[in-house]
Amino acid sequence: MVLYQKLLCIGVAGALGTLSRYGLSGLIQGMVGIGFPWGTAAVNAIGCLLFGLVWTLGAERMAISAEARTIILTGYMGAFTTFSTFISETGQLAGGAQWWIAVGNITFQISVGLALFFAGSALARLL
């Protein structure tokens, strides 16, 4: 597959992932109501399950080609949830007995993410 075809496939998969996230999250949140972001939590949990499934089928079972895995994981899953990528990378660190780096990754990304969320919100209020 040439580069432009791969990019097109990743883009289409990304669009499908975005629409899936929007639809599933909204459906679940609509069923349970407000209070806790169950829709997002469900998407993140499902994303982690699917990421692990696709990754292992490709990397260990060779049931999914490297090219298809890139399209699915980068395109679809990247748009469906980046949380699944975060969990996968942290899981690989922990699985490789790099526990302190895994804990550091969790601490750093959550702390910095929250801090920058509030910084962006404060900046928006100044504009």
The overall pTM is greater than 0.85: no
Rama region for 34: left / alpha / beta (φ>0; ψ in -120 to 50; rest):
beta
Is 62 a member of any domain? yes
Low pLDDT (below 50) residues in the chain: none
List pLDDT tens digits, range 16-38.
Answer: 999 999 999 999 999 998 877 88
Is 34 a member of any domain? yes
Per the structure, the count of domains in the chain is 1
* Tokens describing residue 81: 């949830």
Q: Write out the residue range of the structural domain in which residue 54 sits.
A: 3-81
